[in-house]
A and B are shown apart, each in its own frame.
Chain A
Amino acid sequence: MLNDNPSIHSNDFIIDVSGNTDIPIHFDNDRPVSDRIAADTHQNISYDPGSLKPGKKYARKLSLNEPQILMLDNISFSDNVFNEIEYCRIQIIKQFLRAVEFLEKNCIPVNKSYSTVIDELSEIIICLQYNYRKDSLNYNYTYQSIQTEIFNHILKLCENNVREVYGIKRKIGADFNYNHPDILHQYNRKIVSKLDVFLTENQYQILDADYKTNIILNENNTNRWKIKFDLIKEDYSNPLAFEREIFRLAEVNSKNPSVDAIFFEASKFVAEHDKTCALRLYIHYLDKDLNSPKFDHRQLGKTIQKTLFSTKEQVSDFERILSELIADRNIEAAIEKVNQLYLPKRKRITIDPEAIKNIQALDSETADILGQILNEEEAGILVKPEESFEEQEEIDLIITQQISELQASKYLDDLNLTIIQKEILDVFEKQSFNILQSDFEIFIKTKGLFMGSAIDSINECCFECLDDVLIEEEDEYFIINTQYYKKLLNND
């Protein structure tokens, strides 16, 4: 595109290749060139150069008064990555205003002719460094310049203060412009030492960085997360809360290239508290690592691995989950599998029909054998020689028994009850099958027998027939179950 400017056209040796419109030079005003360029480019927009100065810029936002605006307009920010962040800049300015207010209120000048300590110090510097005559042009100009330098220095101290609060380890240079020992001494004594105390004590007035600011800060300061991480570790109470905090930390580090390290370190830390949580965080680490420019695939230390895995099976299961994650990048599936890793594996029960048959056959055989034993006739068990007493006793009684049988016994013959035993049963029948033990003892004594052995002998005789005990003790009574009794009768 050819330049339409006639002045350039007139010069055949100059060929414009910039593509920019011509900028005519006006000699009728003192405005800087850049201002005039802006004004000419945006002819319809009224331009106020003072509006870019901090005082004007933040006047409404920070509700500044006139002296504050004036003061801020006189200072200059040397822009850097930190203070270019709007939120940080505001915090720096606010801290600066508080600092200046503090100096004005609390640091009283020695000589009452000065309104503030800054005025006093400005005078000292001029005297010691320049020795200008008071109220001379040089004096006035330098005085203003020194005041600005002092405010700028205070501003730097405030920025470092805000940086400290926001966990930025790198500080900006805050050397004072004057090296004269006396000046430095006075400056340190009257300003710096006072400010040091104030800034430390008033850090709490600096608001915490907001979400957006944190993201930017973390992006620029890749290790800033470690401070917050240490706090999270100190406050550890349970794995769920810990995991939640780690995710919050990772969120404000979303633009931080070291975000994967947060999950890795978190996984290492929580391993000794909660295994599943540790594995979940490791999965997140791997996910971030996979999405980073360089895939590191860091391994957890041997000690941590020993804490996390008690069996080889668990190790191989986890390795399989990681391999699948690397292959399919499906983090949800990997987390789900990790959540199941420590749950006991469901055991399947297999019922073997063949084995069942064998067991049933064996069991049936055993039940038969036991059944036979438990139901077998007792006759023939008592075959010991000593038993002859009993047998002989019965022989004696058989004669009488036979006689009684002639009288038609009402009890089953198979029971082989002796006369006295039948008599005892008759007594029970008469007494409605309930006899007081003491009454029975009196009765049995008249027969010259022991109570216990008499009852037992009847129970023994009837046991086979009833498969249970006939005469039972209940409290102070001997009782007979009537159903059992009926079973012993001939005509029943």
Chain B
Amino acid sequence: MIDNIKPKEATSIINSLVSGVVPKIGVQHITVGRSEEVNAFIGSLEDVKNGLSLVKFWIGDFGSGKSFMLHLLNTVALKQKFVVANADFTPDNRLYANDGKSVILYSAIMDNISIQTKPEGGALQTLLEKWIEQVIAKTAEENHISLMEIRTDQYLNLIQNSIMKTVNEITEVGGFDFGSAIVKYYEGYIKGDELLRRNALKWLKGEYTTKTEARQDLGIREIINDSNYYDMLKNFCKLFVSMGYSGFMINLDEAINLYKISVSASREKNYEKILSIYNDCFQGKVSNLFINFAGTKEFLENERRGLFSYQALKSRLEGNRFETSEFRDFAQPVIKLMPLNHNEIFVLLKKLKYIFDYNYKTELNISDEEISTFMEEMFNKPGAAEFLTPREVIRDFLNILNIIRQNPEVDKTRLFGEIEITDERPNDLILLDSIEEL
């Protein structure tokens, strides 16, 4: 049923899904029912590699698999030599703000930067050093200086000039300060000044809150703030591409937190920021940038508070009128994640049973009819219609497999009967409609 699954992947899949999270590896083996979406984003990644920039909105109800898709995107993008950063919108961060909440989002993005060899995030420093190494190599070659010799103090100025020159070549807005921070980083390294190096990194991650402090520590007059953080992201994108990476992918989950901003003017400003990012990407003002937003249908379509409340976005994000559940259009910026149907869940559970057996080297006696019975029990439990998510179906199924594995004599029908459906939606999601407009 599954070819080429590795033991490590099987273990990761089973362990992660039992815990209700997306597995770190082997995620390609559990993409049942998402073939078209996968094909769509593979195409999109190819486009971004070729220099385009894209914004995609992954829209689906709670538990429909948005985070799973973002995770899959993340995995595939890393393999395709993308620099990837993930961040969640929270009540404390947003795209537009004038009280530091946007810089918090920027910092979260920079903290979570990952590359294939550092998939857990925190790869900014590595990337920075790799880039400086490249500049050093280029400068050494241009000036006929050996690689060892050029790293000495006497060539510090030469390297610094080279860094500034290269940064200026690839950046537009804020390039000087950006380059200065990188120069300071290099200077700290050459001079063995760890503090200087850390401060430079702190500046690049948007962690300076006052200009005075930044000037004292680094001699840089500007800091990354709510109004220029997006330019810095674009600068980084160019930097990464100049290093040979395919592009910069930023995944922003829990976009419902933008919908929940109670002050309409502030919410609108955030939507305006989305519009400007959207326009930048689709008008070709920026290259190799891929931004994904994941949110619920409310976040997109609510005419009072959602993206559709902002007319300019509504006209851009309104779905293809000719699209149906049968004939989908994945070329649109909005990709709606339909709930998996019974047949798809059946195939997924069968696959999981296979992976489970492979992982534990067992041959559990569960027939197709019993899988079907399990599903029927799940869907007929009180509350299933409102709360049941694929995550819960999968977790319960694997839990039952675990019981059967350890207690082969157990009555399966009784196990199925004991399933209970709980409402796992976050409380604030349930109470969303009660938010008052200020």
Instruction: Flag if A452 contacts B117 (CB, 8 Å).
Output: no
Q: For this complex, into which size category does the number of interface residues on chain A fall?
A: 35 or more
For A393, what are the chain B residues with a Cβ–Cβ distance below 8 Å? 133-134, 137, 147
A370 within 8 Å of B (CB atoms): yes
Within B116-149, which residues are at the interface with A (CB < 8 Å)?
A: 116-119, 123, 125-126, 128-130, 132-135, 137-138, 141, 147-148
Instruction: Flag if A452 contacts B129 (CB, 8 Å).
Output: yes
Contact A456:B375 (CB < 8 A) given known A386-B242, A389-B134: no
B90 within 8 Å of A (CB atoms): no
Instruction: Flag if B346 contacts A351 (CB, 8 Å).
Output: yes
Question: What is the CB-to-nearest-CB distance from A488 to chain B, in angstroms, rounded to a whole number?
Answer: 15
For A137, what are the chain B residues with a Cβ–Cβ distance below 8 Å? none
Instruction: Flag if A359 contacts B134 (CB, 8 Å).
Output: no
Instruction: Flag if A456 contacts B117 (CB, 8 Å).
Output: yes
Instruction: Flag if B380 contacts A347 (CB, 8 Å).
Output: yes
B274 within 8 Å of A (CB atoms): no
Instruction: Flag if A370 contacts B31 (CB, 8 Å).
Output: yes
B28 within 8 Å of A (CB atoms): yes
For B6, what are the chain A residues with a Cβ–Cβ distance below 8 Å? 467
A371 to B42, CA, bound (A): 12
Instruction: Flag if B246 contacts A450 (CB, 8 Å).
Output: no
For A1, what are the chain B residues with a Cβ–Cβ distance below 8 Å? none
Instruction: Flag if B80 contacts A381 (CB, 8 Å).
Output: yes
Instruction: Flag if B133 contacts A449 (CB, 8 Å).
Output: yes
Instruction: Flag if B141 contacts A349 (CB, 8 Å).
Output: no
A447 to B33, CA, bound (A): 52
Our pick among B147, B189, B343, B382 for the contact of A450 (Cβ within 8 Å) is B189
Contact A359:B343 (CB < 8 A) given known A367-B2, A382-B81: yes
Contact A359:B33 (CB < 8 A) given known A346-B380, A367-B2: yes
Question: What is the CB-to-nearest-CB distance from A360 to chain B, in angstroms, rounded to a whole number?
Answer: 6
A457 within 8 Å of B (CB atoms): yes
Contact A384:B138 (CB < 8 A) given known A374-B76, A456-B130: no
Within A327-360, which residues are at the interface with B (CB < 8 Å)?
A: 344, 346-352, 355-356, 359-360
Chain A residue with the shortest CB-CB distance to B131:
A453
Instruction: Flag if B376 contacts A463 (CB, 8 Å).
Output: no
Instruction: Flag if B130 contacts A366 (CB, 8 Å).
Output: no
Instruction: Flag if A448 contacts B148 (CB, 8 Å).
Output: yes
Our pick among A346, A349, A387, A448 for the contact of B342 (Cβ within 8 Å) is A349
Chain B residue with the shortest CB-CB distance to A448:
B151
Best-surrounded residue of A349, A374, A378 (most CB of chain B within 10 A): A349
Question: What is the CB-to-nearest-CB distance from A422 to chain B, in angstroms, rounded to a whole number?
Answer: 16
Our pick among B2, B38, B125, B147 for the contact of A366 (Cβ within 8 Å) is B38
A22 within 8 Å of B (CB atoms): no
A447 to B243, CA, bound (A): 22
Our pick among B38, B129, B351, B380 for the contact of A453 (Cβ within 8 Å) is B129
Within A444-473, which residues are at the interface with B (CB < 8 Å)?
A: 445, 447-453, 455-457, 459-460, 463, 467, 469
Instruction: Flag if A371 contacts B28 (CB, 8 Å).
Output: yes
Chain A residue with the shortest CB-CB distance to B369:
A351
Contact A373:B42 (CB < 8 A) given known A351-B342, A386-B244, A456-B130: yes
Instruction: Flag if A390 contacts B244 (CB, 8 Å).
Output: yes
Instruction: Flag if A347 contacts B379 (CB, 8 Å).
Output: yes
Chain B residue with the shortest CB-CB distance to A445:
B192
Chain B residue with the shortest CB-CB distance to A366:
B35
Chain A residue with the shortest CB-CB distance to B4:
A371
Instruction: Flag if A456 contacts B81 (CB, 8 Å).
Output: no
Our pick among B35, B129, B379 for the contact of A349 (Cβ within 8 Å) is B379
Question: What is the CB-to-nearest-CB distance from A393 to chain B, in angstroms, rounded to a whole number?
Answer: 4
Instruction: Flag if A384 contacts B38 (CB, 8 Å).
Output: no
For B116, what are the chain A residues with a Cβ–Cβ distance below 8 Å? 460, 463
Chain B residue with the shortest CB-CB distance to A390:
B134
For B76, what are the chain A residues with a Cβ–Cβ distance below 8 Å? 370, 373-374
Question: What is the CB-to-nearest-CB distance from A276 to chain B, in angstroms, rounded to a whole number?
Answer: 15
For A182, what are the chain B residues with a Cβ–Cβ distance below 8 Å? none
B344 within 8 Å of A (CB atoms): yes
A365 within 8 Å of B (CB atoms): yes
A5 to B6, CA, bound (A): 125
A373 to B76, CA, bound (A): 7
- Chain B 149-174 interface mask (CB, 8 Å, partner A; 1/0): 00100000000000000000000000
Question: What is the CB-to-nearest-CB distance from A184 to chain B, in angstroms, rounded to a whole number?
Answer: 72
For B404, what are the chain A residues with a Cβ–Cβ distance below 8 Å? none
Question: What is the CB-to-nearest-CB distance from B169 to chain A, in angstroms, rounded to a whole number?
Answer: 10
A11 within 8 Å of B (CB atoms): no
For B31, what are the chain A residues with a Cβ–Cβ distance below 8 Å? 363, 366-367, 370
Best-surrounded residue of A387, A392, A393 (most CB of chain B within 10 A): A393
For A369, what are the chain B residues with a Cβ–Cβ distance below 8 Å? 38-39, 42
Question: What is the CB-to-nearest-CB distance from B328 to chain A, in angstroms, rounded to a whole number?
Answer: 13
Instruction: Flag if A350 contacts B342 (CB, 8 Å).
Output: yes
A390 to B148, CA, bound (A): 16
Q: A371-B28, A381-B80 are in contact. List 20 more A-B contacts (CB 8 A).
A: A344-B385, A347-B376, A351-B342, A351-B346, A351-B368, A351-B372, A356-B343, A363-B35, A367-B28, A374-B28, A374-B79, A381-B246, A386-B244, A387-B243, A389-B135, A392-B141, A450-B189, A453-B133, A456-B123, A463-B116
Q: Which of B's residues lie within 8 Å of A, judged by CB? A: 1-4, 6, 28-29, 31-35, 38-39, 42, 75-76, 79-81, 115-119, 123, 125-126, 128-130, 132-135, 137-138, 141, 147-148, 151, 189, 192, 241-244, 246, 342-344, 346-347, 351, 368, 372, 375-376, 379-380, 382, 385
The 8 closest A-B pairs by CB, nearest first: A370-B28, A450-B129, A448-B151, A459-B117, A453-B129, A452-B126, A387-B244, A366-B35
13 A-B contact pairs sorted by A residue (CB < 8 Å): A351-B368, A356-B346, A363-B32, A366-B31, A367-B2, A367-B29, A374-B75, A376-B79, A381-B80, A392-B141, A445-B192, A448-B151, A463-B117
